[in-house]
Amino acid sequence: MHGSRCRSALLWAMLATMGLWHGALAATDNFDRIPEPTINDAAPGIDNTANADSLPVEYRHHPVFYRSAYPAGTIIVNTADRFLYLIMSGTTAMRYAIGVGRDGFQWGGTHRITRKAEWPDWTPPSEMIVRQPYLPRFMAGGPGNPMGARALYIGTTVYRIHGTNAPETIGHAVSSGCFRLVNGEIEDLYERVSVGSAVIVQHQ
């Protein structure tokens, strides 16, 4: 009886060790994989901007109650609820629906808008080219450009608040860290925001 119990304990120990070992292999195997977006993105050059008409009405910008000590003109991006808030007063903000970075590409911090551009060209950063070597090295501004109709450049980072050629991705985690709005929405935000405006990205 005693020998049987010992053999059983040894067997369970071996199985547990194998399970941990296989788990470690799986973790190592997944380490270099690019996190999947929550929806497929439109390919560069594809113009899906007409899809903006089918977005839910709550995704249209509108003023909301938002208590804040930040000065008017401050941009607050909440990556968890996927909304951008432009502070209007101590109790009011204009709310815009956004698409955010997919898992592993979300970030937080405080910066300022350093540049504004209409129908910006797109030059994917080298880090993105390494992950997605099939991307074009340059694309002129236009309706099929992933940067959309307007862009607000965030500090010295590679990130931007910009339009999109894929309105169906709003409310999803799909980008490499930038924040996207449909073209009509980014055009409205663009007119309300000045170079030098603070950008606070909240990520938990």
Active site residues: 162, 178
Question: Residue 74 carries which DSSP code?
Answer: -
The dihedral region occupied by 171, where left means phi > 0, alpha psi between -120 and 50, and beta the remainder, is left
Q: Which two tokens stand for residue 86?
A: 């432009």
The dihedral region occupied by 133, where left means phi > 0, alpha psi between -120 and 50, and beta the remainder, is alpha
The secondary element (H helix, E strand) that includes residue 176 is: none
d(CA 4, CA 14): 15
d(CA 162, CA 171): 14
**For residue 155, with 0-12 CB atoms within 10 Å meaning exposed, 13-18 middle and 19 or more buried, which class applies?**
middle
Structure-token match 């450049």, residue found: 153
Q: Which two tokens stand for residue 150?
A: 């307007």
Structure-token match 């003109």, residue found: 73
